[in-house]
Amino acid sequence: MAASGFEGFEKRLEIHFSGDDPAIEMGGLRQLDFDSLEQVLHAVQCTVVSAVSNQYFDSYVLSESSLFVYPTKIIIKTCGTTQLLKSIRPFIHFACQMGLIITECRYTRGNYIFPKAQPYPHTSFKEEISYLQDQLPNHLCYRKASVMPSKFTSHSWHVFSACDKFYPIPIPNDQYTVEICMTDLDLVLARKFFKNPDTTGKQMTEVTGIGEIIPSALICEFAFDPCGYSMNGIDGDRYSTIHVTPEDGFSYASYECVGSVYDEDDIDRILKKVVQVFLPGTMSVSISCSSSSSSSEISTRIVKAVEPLGMKRRNCTIDEFPAAGTVVFQTFTLTGNR
């Protein structure tokens, strides 16, 4: 717990590995036993509260956000005063035991609401980058760190990326990741994330409309006491995740998903529904895609989707990163009355 309230803004780490086909065919990183995962999470200072899997990956709802384990990829995001970057060395160690070697690392986060409450190595972005540089092996030699600004001091985007190749590691050119951070949630909508004695996570999913964002997804959710909510959605080989800190004065919600530019109007529909569920006063949207043209197309679709709901775009920043490709960062504010 932070000094003045709970820190909603997450730190996010994505690590890619490669190895011999037999190791990957046997499940790769999914072979990690639960005790090993608990060791990593203990270093980060969080625990597993719920889990669900399918044939493609394992999904864990954490006491502070989420963990996704694919055969050759790990995505972990944690909020509060967790020490996310302390997971890097253990993950690399366990992967090495399986014959896998790290090939790519990405770290992203927004602006902490309570930065002075963050422990080492998260006391500043400079400190985080210094720690990352020390933790990663030398063969990840192509590295870049940058803060993508906005007109609002409360919303900027911190990005670090490292890889072992000059060009991005091949991924489908149509694939993208969307990370949304929302503050100043509508008070009435935020109250739906406060728990009554008999409230379940499933009930929160239904009453808030979260279950309608991606109807085809299998949702694994958790309602926190006295308030707060987390969910992971799995839909084939794609994940989505939501985390909500609803307290007035520092209310926050995040939404993240992966998609394809060939999904027709999926991202348009998803963004509309996300805004309707939370109606934030301020929202930032980061899009990461290997193709700059695809990133531009998706960002334009997002603007067209949310502006009719009263969300006006205030700025747009574009940058290129090793492995991560093109990152487009946009901020929006709500105009008019709720």
Catalytic position from the list 240, 243, 290, 294: 243
Catalytic position from the list 46, 59, 65, 240: 65
Catalytic position from the list 79, 163, 181, 227: 79
Instruction: Tell me whether residue 224 is annotated as binding.
Output: yes
Q: Is 289 a catalytic residue?
A: no
DSSP 215-242: TTSEEEEEE-SSB-EEEEEEETTEEEEE
Q: Is 65 a catalytic residue?
A: yes
Catalytic position from the list 230, 240, 294, 299: 230
Q: Is 87 a catalytic residue?
A: no
Residue with tokens 């253990």: 90
Sign of CA dihedral 307, 310, 311, 314: positive
- Per-residue b/e over 226-249, b at no fewer than 16 CB within 10 Å? ebbbbbbbbbeebbbbbbbbbbee
Instruction: Tell me whether residue 6 is annotated as binding.
Output: yes
- The CA-atom distances, in angstroms, between 133 and each of 137, 146, 163 are 8, 14, 12
Instruction: Tell me whether residue 179 is annotated as binding.
Output: no
Q: Is 230 a catalytic residue?
A: yes
Instruction: Tell me whether residue 104 is annotated as binding.
Output: no
Residue pair 285/180 in contact (Cβ under 8 Å)? The answer is yes
Residue pair 297/128 in contact (Cβ under 8 Å)? The answer is no
- The annotation places the binding site for substrate at 6, 64, 224, 247
Catalytic residue numbers read 65, 79, 230, 243
